[in-house]
Amino acid sequence: MKYSFKDDYSEGCHPHILKKLIETNFEQTANANYGQDVFTKEAKASIHKKLNHPKAEIHLVSGGTQANLVVISSLLKPYEAVISAESGHIEVHETGAIEATGHKVLAIPTEDGKLSPNLIQPTLDAHKDEHQVLPRMVYISNATELGTIYSQQELHELSSFCKEKGLLLFMDGARLGTALTSSSNNLDLELIAKYMDVFYIGGTKNGALLGEAIVICNPELQANFRFALKQKGALLAKGRLLGIQFLELFTDDLFFELGKYANRQAEVLSKAIEDKGFEFLAPTESNQVFPILPKTLIQKLQEKYEFHIWQAYNETHDVIRLVTSWATPLDKVQEFINDLED
């Protein structure tokens, strides 16, 4: 059996979660299903402590594509569009989920997966009248699909720009856990809640079985969101399953610990690869590492490990993606590093 560095969702969940599921299994949550149970309430309270934004509203859903499609479709009018990096998850890896709800995604090429006012402005300039869609939202990912992260300065500028242009700002935080615990990070949930109109905190890729916590910071966008959730099949009858998981993740900062652990494994990997003289497609800032390796070495590594070949680089080299997680054992990282030697 090969060890896999393919992604951060190949194991079950952190044992604390399983323990809590067992403890609470026979408690009835009647009158309080579909996400109104006591566990979900406690989970929200725990998250609120980190947000310091009492007006924010929190909703738990089962996955990232679901979070993206419910948020975007509930906030845009039919002719309004969402701006995304060309590498954005909604643009490339959600099977047209956003378009299926009726909205165009306006994709912008980027170097590192991050959007900025300078990159967005030309798209605004190109949309002048009713013969084109009306750009109304900016979608960003943090960490991005290239593992890079936003700094406070970058979010501040983006947020000011969006406010000035009448654009809503939405962050896909499927990997927010590793973004916020990156050694380069200077953001926290409180700042994010201040800058964003909406964002979500990813559980699936940071220790939960499933679950993303959508935070609607802007009170004007909060009305009737549960209707939107139900309509898209996003209200779980046993909402407790999501509540219990976020409750555990936000008890004693488990969420941040798991992110930090994943990042540390990535750093070790990245450092070792760098030390061998290899280069990278993007700097290693969170739990995704994109080294450029000789195809011969890649073939050898594939005998023992699973990972994505991300893209072709040149005739002799490809870029691969290595992902670490809360569940990656240090000895597997070490083993991989040893196997880098020819």
**Which of 49, 55, 163, 238: binder of a copy of itself (CB under 8 A)?**
238
CA separation for the pair 103, 56 (Å, rounded) = 25
**Which of 43, 71, 108, 209: binder of a copy of itself (CB under 8 A)?**
209
Closest contact distance (angstroms) between CB of 266 and a copy of itself is 16
Q: In terms of Cα–Cα distance, which of 212, 264, 257 is closest to 9?
A: 212
Q: Rule CB under 8 A: is residue 295 a binding residue for a copy of itself?
A: no
Closest contact distance (angstroms) between CB of 18 and a copy of itself is 5
Q: Alpha carbon of 20 to those of 15, 69, 71, 213: distances in Å?
A: 9, 30, 29, 19
182: Cα within 13 Å, side-chain hemisphere: 24
Closest contact distance (angstroms) between CB of 257 and a copy of itself is 18
CA separation for the pair 256, 206 (Å, rounded) = 9
Site for a copy of itself in 309-328 (CB under 8 A): 327
User: What number of chain residues touch a copy of itself (CB under 8 A)?
Assistant: 79
* Residue written as token pair 């856990």: 177
Cβ proximity to a copy of itself: between 1 and 220 the closer is 1
Give all strands (DSSP E) within the chain, no chain letters.
3-4, 57-61, 80-85, 105-108, 134-141, 168-172, 198-202, 212-216, 279-280, 288-289, 291-294, 305-306, 308-312, 317-323
C-alpha 298: how far from its chain's center?
A: 27
Answer whether 40's CB lies under 8 Å from 242's CB.
Answer: yes
Q: Rule CB under 8 A: is residue 298 a binding residue for a copy of itself?
A: no
Site for a copy of itself in 110-169 (CB under 8 A): 130-134
Q: Rule CB under 8 A: is residue 232 a binding residue for a copy of itself?
A: yes
Closest contact distance (angstroms) between CB of 195 and a copy of itself is 25
**Which of 186, 231, 299, 302: binder of a copy of itself (CB under 8 A)?**
231
Q: Rule CB under 8 A: is residue 236 a binding residue for a copy of itself?
A: yes
Q: Rule CB under 8 A: is residue 96 a binding residue for a copy of itself?
A: yes
Site for a copy of itself in 1-30 (CB under 8 A): 1, 3-4, 6-7, 9-13, 15, 18, 21-22, 24-30
Residue partners of 73: CB distance under 8 A and separation at least 6: 98, 101, 102, 103, 228, 232
Contact pattern from residue 44 through residue 73 relative to a copy of itself, giving x for each residue in contact according to CB under 8 A and a dash for the rest: ------------------xxxxxxxxx--x
Stretch that binds a copy of itself, among 138-146, 227-235, 247-255, 270-278 (CB under 8 A): 227-235
Q: Rule CB under 8 A: is residue 181 a binding residue for a copy of itself?
A: no
**Which of 54, 77, 118, 164: binder of a copy of itself (CB under 8 A)?**
77
CA separation for the pair 246, 206 (Å, rounded) = 11
Closest contact distance (angstroms) between CB of 188 and a copy of itself is 26
DSSP string, 227-264: HHHHHTT---TTTHHHHHHHHHHTSTTHHHHHHHHHHH
Contact pattern from residue 186 through residue 205 relative to a copy of itself, giving x for each residue in contact according to CB under 8 A and a dash for the rest: ------------------xx
What spatial distance separates the first Cα and last Cα of the chain, rounded to whole Å? 22
Rg (C-alpha) for the chain, rounded Å, is 20
**Which of 120, 179, 189, 229: binder of a copy of itself (CB under 8 A)?**
229
